[in-house]
């Protein structure tokens, strides 16, 4: 054993000396192999990680994420600070105020969940619904389907109110379903990006209050692009994602609970099924519970919070009404261009179209996958097909936030025209 130790030490000395010699550079690969032979590590470093990171420049004109402005990228690259530092708490306070503005709410219980929009979706359901309780899910695309599955997984009694993609629910249909199933919570998607629908919200919150039911609304694809008024429209729980019209990278998800939701949430008989998403802890982490000290719960995405804070600052500087107006104008410009190409818009009623994500009915004489692949290959541009129940029915173009410009609409229209010209038509 001792002889082997001295032999290894001698080999190491010889290797070090060789590196200092004129032949060191030429001998380096051999010495690296020798070093590996002496190592106790049996899995070598992956060769892919010994190359520099390469990320292509793409035009993200799909349903999200969208391209991020340089200002937000710069904010996200600032030096890391501790997630429990006073400066971090101040940034989190800024984020809270920005979300309150974007949601048009005075709710104290307003935070950003560490995670994507799905994290906020689960946070809403896990905290306000207990196993065995009745919930009503309005499904007219993939997001209602997702919430229904989440609620079922945690043991809720799930009732589905279903329309085909692009369909919408009348207040009469909603009230009849609430009277029948007596849910503790109703879910509705404001911006159904899988179908390109912006669902009317007025009056639904009043119905929910009448029947002692919480009103949960998903605005991941619509916030900043279409009007929403959490307090005025009596929405009890509202959430969104950072990566669409808010201009930030994916990974943070604003959510807000009003007093009705908080009363239900903090008077549970059972603990929420998720520790990570338990609002008892998250409300303290975000300084919403009135306690003098914030305690450690998890390490928040510090750089993501920097970026989210900057994206909310951009929205505040521009103004919500101006943002809504611009998304509506650019969408209308895109509609005209698509119709000039002979394409059919999937949502016939103009006032029900989601300004941030436009859906085109798949042209019957083309393979939609081939069209999208051509656009990506020749134009470095992402557009997408449908999702969930709208798969095969639509193609989706997203022009939101930083990408919401008529020049980008022109680029998208040019790419589509090129694809329609060069992709093979199917025989009738």
Q: What is the CATH number of the domain that holds 227?
A: 3.40.640.10
**Nearest-5° Cα angle at 136, 130 to 138:** 135
Dump pLDDT digits (tens) for 321-335: 999 999 999 999 999
Q: Phi and psi at residue 37, in whole multiples of 5°?
A: -65, -30
Q: Are residues 206 and 250 in the same domain?
A: yes
Say yes or no: 117 and 152 in one domain.
yes
Show binding-site residues.
396
Q: How many domains does the chain have?
A: 2
- CA 424 from chain centre, in angstroms, equals 34
User: What number is the average pLDDT over the span 356-377?
Assistant: 96
Expressed as residue numbers, the domain containing 125 is 70-317
Domain boundary among 290, 317, 344: 317
Task: Kindly state the average pLDDT of the residues 295-315.
Answer: 97
CB count within 10 Å of CB 212 equals 12
For the cut 70, the answer to whether the pLDDT of residue 12 exceeds it is no
Binding-site members for substrate are 396
Both 176 and 220 in a single domain?
yes
26 pLDDT above the threshold of 70: no
pLDDT at 190: 98
Provide the 3-class DSSP secondary structure of residue 386. Answer: coil
Q: How many CB atoms lie within 10 A of CB 410?
A: 13
Which of these three, 317, 349, 379, is where a domain ends?
317
In 3D, which of 217, 153, 151 has the Cα closest to residue 181? 151
Whether 8 maps to a domain, the answer reads no
Instruction: Determine the pLDDT at residue 28.
Output: 61
Q: In this structure, are 296 and 344 located in the same domain?
A: no
pTM for this structure?
0.90
Q: Left, alpha or beta for 203 (phi > 0: left; psi -120 to 50: alpha)?
A: left
232 and 303 part of one domain: yes
Beta bridge partners of residue 238, listed in sequence order: 217, 256
77 token code pair: 């690259």
Burial environment of residue 67 by CB neighbours within 10 A (0 to 12, 13 to 18, 19 or more): middle
Query: For the chain, what is the mean pLDDT?
Result: 93
What tens digit of pLDDT does each residue of 112-138 get?
A: 999 999 999 999 999 999 999 999 999
Domain boundary among 280, 298, 317: 317
Helix (H) or strand (E) holding 371: helix 368-379
> How far apart, in whole angstroms, are the C-alpha atoms of residue 339 and residue 348?
12
């Amino acid at each position: 054993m001792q002889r082997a130790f001295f032999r290894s030490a001698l080999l190491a000395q010889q290797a070090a000396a060789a590196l200092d010699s004129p032949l060191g550079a030429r001998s380096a690969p051999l010495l690296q192999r020798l070093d590996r032979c002496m190592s106790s590590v049996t899995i070598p470093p992956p060769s892919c990680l010994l190359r520099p990171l390469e990320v292509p420049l793409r035009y993200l004109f799909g349903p999200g994420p969208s391209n991020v402005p340089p200002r937000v990228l710069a904010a996200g690259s600032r030096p890391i600070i501790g997630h429990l530092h006073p400066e971090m708490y101040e940034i989190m306070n800024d984020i809270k105020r920005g979300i309150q503005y974007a949601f048009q709410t005075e709710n104290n219980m307003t935070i950003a969940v560490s995670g994507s929009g799905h994290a906020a979706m689960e946070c809403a359901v896990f905290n306000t619904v207990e196993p065995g309780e009745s919930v009503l899910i309005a499904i007219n695309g993939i997001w209602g389907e997702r919430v229904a599955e989440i609620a079922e997984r945690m043991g809720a009694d799930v009732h589905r109110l279903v329309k085909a993609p692009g369909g919408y629910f009348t207040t009469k249909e909603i009230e009849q379903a609430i009277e029948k199933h007596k849910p503790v919570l109703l879910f509705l998607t404001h911006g159904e990006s899988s179908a390109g629908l912006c669902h009317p919200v007025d009056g639904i919150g009043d119905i929910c209050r009448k029947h002692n039911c919480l009103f949960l609304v998903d605005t991941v694809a619509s916030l900043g692009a279409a009007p929403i008024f959490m307090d005025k429209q009596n929405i009890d729980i509202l959430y969104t994602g950072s990566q669409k019209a808010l201009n930030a990278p994916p990974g943070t998800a604003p959510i807000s609970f009003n007093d009705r939701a908080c009363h239900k949430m903090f008077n549970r008989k059972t603990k929420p099924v998720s520790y990570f998403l338990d609002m008892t802890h998250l409300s303290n982490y975000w300084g919403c519970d009135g306690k003098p000290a914030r305690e450690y719960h998890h390490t928040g995405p510090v750089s993501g919070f920097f970026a989210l804070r900057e994206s909310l600052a951009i929205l505040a500087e521009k103004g919500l009404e101006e943002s809504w107006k611009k998304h509506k104008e650019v969408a209308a410009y895109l509609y005209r261009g698509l119709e000039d190409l002979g394409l059919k818009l999937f949502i016939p009623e103009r006032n029900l179209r989601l300004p941030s994500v436009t859906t085109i009915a798949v042209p019957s004489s083309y393979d939609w996958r081939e069209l999208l692949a051509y656009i990506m290959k020749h134009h470095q541009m992402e557009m997408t097909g449908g999702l969930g129940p709208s798969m095969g029915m639509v193609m989706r173009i997203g022009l939101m936030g930083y990408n919401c410009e008529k020049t980008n609409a022109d680029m998208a229209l040019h790419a589509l025209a090129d694809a329609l010209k060069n992709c093979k038509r199917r025989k009738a």
